[in-house]
């Protein structure tokens, strides 16, 4: 006896028959969910690596409140985490406008979909621009420090607060050192921007300013603050200085452990790339909304699919914000 197996007819494709769609989702939405899950695993791996590395170097890890202190238009004002919090709020608001765009699409209200999509794009551009601004300040630095021959970072404090090199070092660089460029040396050799001050200048300025102290990159486990040395101990450590550090890059970091900068550039840059990609997708969908493409199709599913991606990007930032700035 042969078993007869009923196969549902599907003249429009294997994904369009009634009851065949998993969870009632279209093929495109399922593929978007597959991408989101795989990308979530990627970000999870990055953040897990960051967490393990931070735990390993917890005694020299930079303090976020001392690194991210800038706010546009408030030069010289100590505003720890304020602008990063504002960036996070802007990205969360963009998720709200995206939800409203998807809801307007379900109601087939073309003009509302267009306006909410436009608002989402604007908020996304503001966020990416703000992230670039944060990168600029992180790279340029806030205070400056010196690196010793044993790889330690030494910072300078006065009255218990960190101060910039420019606050006590006077004059221009005294060793006559200029940045090597193609025009003034071998064409195949180059270097990054050199510091504004020489090591000898910083050492002399420290001797001349008795109220300036030196602190280590290391954190005292008891006080959760960086260790401040006496004048004599600071002078001994400063005598080992080999490099003046201003800002952060992939090789050195004025705020502390250089691995922090490596993770910061990679993870926030990877997330920024996702946001930029989302903005481009939103612009394409926005143009199609204006042209009436989805009105003719009879549905706004593309808005919903790009909305899933945008919400994922926002959710990832919540974790990045927590790991880098809050914890």
- Highest mean pLDDT among 1-10, 121-130, 229-238, 247-256 belongs to 121-130
| pLDDT tens digits, 152-178 | 999 999 988 889 888 888 876 655 566
CA distance 210 to 235: 11
pLDDT at 146: 93
Q: Give the residue among 184, 223, 190, 229 at the shortest CA–CA distance from 206.
A: 229
pLDDT at 64: 86
Q: Can you tell me the mean pLDDT for 225-231?
A: 90
CATH architecture of the domain formed by 43-141+260-326 = Up-down Bundle (1.20)
Q: Measured at the alpha carbon of residue 172, what is the angle toward residues 167 and 178, in degrees to the nearest 5?
A: 130
Q: Among residues of the chain, what percentage have pLDDT more than 90?
A: 53
| pLDDT tens digits, 206-221 | 999 999 999 998 888 8
- pLDDT band at residue 1 under the 50/70/90 scheme: very low
- DSSP class of residue 132 equals H
pLDDT at 29: 84
Tell how strand 145-148 and strand 225-228 pair up: unpaired
CA distance 292 to 97: 20
Tally of CB atoms within 10 A around 184: 8
Q: Where in the chain is the domain with CATH 1.20.120.80?
A: 43-141+260-326
The answer to whether residue 118 scores a pLDDT higher than 70 is yes
pLDDT at 7: 44
Q: Can you tell me the mean pLDDT for 182-195?
A: 59
- pLDDT band at residue 181 under the 50/70/90 scheme: low
Cβ pair 123, 93 in contact under 8 A? yes
pLDDT at 283: 97
The answer to whether residue 111 scores a pLDDT higher than 90 is yes
| pLDDT tens digits, 7-39 | 444 445 554 544 455 566 777 788 899 999 999
For the record, the structure tokens of 29 come out as 């939405």
| pLDDT tens digits, 48-69 | 999 999 999 988 898 888 888 8
Q: What is the pTM of this model?
A: 0.83
């Amino acid at each position: 006896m042969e078993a007869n197996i009923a196969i549902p007819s599907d003249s429009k494709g294997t994904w369009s028959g009634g009851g065949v769609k998993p969870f009632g989702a279209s093929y495109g939405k399922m593929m978007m969910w597959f991408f989101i899950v795989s990308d979530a695993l990627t970000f999870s791996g990055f953040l897990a690596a960051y967490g393990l590395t931070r735990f390993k170097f917890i005694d020299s890890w930079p303090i976020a409140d001392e690194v991210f202190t800038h706010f546009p238009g408030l030069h010289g004002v100590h505003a720890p985490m304020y602008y990063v919090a504002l960036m996070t709020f802007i990205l969360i608001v963009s998720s709200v406008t995206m939800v409203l765009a998807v809801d307007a699409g379900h109601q087939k209200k073309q003009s509302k979909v267009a306006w909410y999509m436009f608002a989402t794009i604007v908020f996304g551009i503001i966020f990416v621009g703000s992230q670039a601004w944060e990168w600029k300040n992180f790279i340029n630095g806030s205070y400056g420090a010196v690196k010793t021959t044993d790889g330690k970072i030494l910072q300078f404090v006065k009255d218990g607060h960190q101060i910039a090199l420019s606050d006590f070092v006077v004059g221009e660089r005294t060793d006559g050192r200029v940045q090597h460029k193609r025009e003034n040396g071998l064409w195949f050799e180059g270097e990054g921007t050199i510091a504004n001050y020489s090591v000898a200048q910083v050492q002399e300025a420290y001797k001349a300013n008795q109220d300036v102290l030196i602190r280590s990159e290391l954190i005292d486990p008891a006080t959760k603050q960086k260790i401040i040395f006496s004048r004599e101990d600071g002078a001994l450590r400063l005598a080992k200085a080999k490099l003046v550090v201003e800002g952060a890059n992939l090789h050195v970091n004025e705020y502390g452990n250089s691995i922090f900068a490596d993770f910061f550039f990679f993870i926030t840059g990877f997330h920024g790339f996702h946001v930029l990609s989302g903005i481009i997708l939103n612009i394409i969908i926005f143009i199609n909304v204006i042209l009436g493409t989805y009105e003719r199709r009879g549905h706004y599913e593309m808005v919903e699919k790009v909305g899933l991606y945008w919400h994922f990007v926002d959710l990832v930032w919540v974790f990045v914000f927590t790991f880098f700035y809050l914890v």
